[in-house]
Each structure stands twice: as C-alpha cells, then as structure tokens.
Chain A
Amino acid sequence: KAGVTQTPRYLIKTRGQQVTLSCSPISGHRSVSWYQQTPGQGLQFLFEYFSETQRNKGNFPGRFSGRQFSNSRSEMNVSTLELGDSALYLCASSLEVGAAGELFFGEGSRLTVL
C-alpha cells in the first residue's frame, strides 16, 4: 500500500509569492493533517481535515489555508510568503476518526523563502 505522498518535495519561493503544497493520503484514510516543522518552533499543528471539512486549526495567520477534496487528497496554501515561512511542511493521514489513530506522515515538502 502506498504511503502518504507529498508534492513537491522541494521548492524555493521569494517573499510575497504564494505556494500550494499537495498531499495524497494513504488509500482509505479520510483524515489529513498538516504540520509545520522549523528549527526554532519545532513541529506545530496547522490544521486537520476530514471529509472535506476543516475540523481544527492551529495558531497560524490567515495566510495559511487548506482544503480537502472528495478523494481525501489535500492541499495547503500559503499566501504572501515571509522569510519565516521557510520550513518543512509535513502531511499526515489517519484511518480512524475521533480516536487516537496512528498518524502516518509523508516525507514533507521543504519550502525555502528567499
């Protein structure tokens, strides 16, 4: 069974631009979460989606948004990029709903903002 797939793996943007990252969950998984990982702040929860609905959002500005499609694939978007948005963005999918299901992580999309 294929794992969580994130694209692109690496990308470089400049300040003020926007970026869209994609995540394909494990087949059958309906919950998708996004995390930001930086050396200074560590791993921080961005948002979680289930059945195309955002169920929870972390403490990030409105420039960070996401969505989930009917096939459970998810995208996150960051608008008006800032230098501090440089990070590894990790997507995770889960089978179970409302329970402590295991999160399966992708390898991440490494964003560099110049």
Chain B
Amino acid sequence: AQSVTQPDIHITVSEGASLELRCNYSYGATPYLFWYVQSPGQGLQLLLKYFSGDTLVQGIKGFEAEFKRSQSSFNLRKPSVHWSDAAEYFCAVGVIQGFQKLVFGTGTRLLVSP
C-alpha cells in the first residue's frame, strides 16, 4: 500500500535561515509526488510536483524539492525562510489507476522565529 512519512511533526526555523522538510514515500510504481501548504483555516495550496524528468523541481514561493529514488525521498527546501512561510506542509504521493487520489503524510508544522 502507498504511504508517506513526514518524520518531523514540528520544525522551528529562524527567519532568513534555510529550511528542509523531510518526506519519504512507499509506492510500488513510479511515484507522482507533491508538496502542499496549508495556512490556518485554509485549504491546501500546491507548492510543487514531480512527475518525471529532472529530479530537482522548482515551485512557488521560492521552494524546491529533490526526488531521490534510491532513498524514496522527496524533501522540500527553501534557502531563506520568511515569517509568512509559517504553516503546515504536507507531502503526498499520487495514486493514478483510472482514478486519482492523493495519499498524504501527517504534515510538518513550520514555526518561524524572529
């Protein structure tokens, strides 16, 4: 069965510091991978996605993620965090079998300290 693990429940980063959020997945086929962000009281917004090709993908708001098949990982990075990045981040694997669903990790809550 498909699964996604986000080992960090909370992460605190100083504003201006770099960020890396970890994501490991389990999926038998070539994965479609996503990172979503959720601000309090809001829905989910797609940051970036990986389908194939270049393993380093760029997203919105200065985020990027690197797909590493050998490690079954898809970690999210940002070189310099802004206070507005404080939110919850979800990694997901897409299951595409004539239908479409996302299997989400449990999320990582990012806190940004001044």
Binding site for B on A (CB under 8 A): 4, 31, 33, 35, 42-45, 48, 50, 55-56, 58, 90, 92, 94, 98-108
Q: Give min CB distance, B66 to chain A, whole Å.
A: 18
Chain A hits for B98, CB < 8 A = 55, 98
Chain A min CB distance to B34 (Å): 8
A33, A42, A104, A107: the one within 8 Å of B42 (CB) = A107
Chain A residues touching B, majority SS? strand
- Cβ-based interface call for B103 (8 A): yes
The distance from the CB of A17 to the nearest CB of chain B, in whole angstroms, is 24
With A90-B43, A105-B45, A107-B41 known as contacts, the answer to whether A45 contacts B102 (CB < 8 A) is yes
| B42 / chain A contacts, CB cutoff of 8 Å | 107-108
Provide a sorted-by-A list of 15 A–B residue pairs whose CB atoms are within 8 angstroms. Answer: A31-B100, A35-B102, A42-B107, A44-B104, A45-B101, A55-B98, A58-B101, A90-B43, A92-B44, A99-B100, A100-B32, A100-B94, A100-B96, A105-B36, A108-B43
Contact A100 B46 (CB under 8 A): no
Given contacts A43-B90, A48-B99, A100-B96, contact A106 B104 (CB under 8 A): no
CB neighbours (8 Å) of B107 from chain A are: 42-43
B44's contact among A50, A90, A94, by CB below 8 Å, is which?
Answer: A90
- Which residue on chain A has the smallest CB distance to residue B32? A100
A90–B45 CA distance with the chains assembled, in angstroms: 12
Q: Could you say which residues of chain A place their CB within 8 Å of the CB of B83?
A: none
Closest to B97 in A: A56
Q: How far is the CA of A46 from the CA of B105 in the complex (A)?
A: 16
- Return chain B residues, CB-CB under 8 Å to A107: 41-43
Asked if B49 contacts A102 (CB within 8 A), the reply is yes
Contacts of A108 in B (CB 8 A): 42-43
Choose one: A44, A58, A100; the contact of B51 (CB below 8 Å). A100
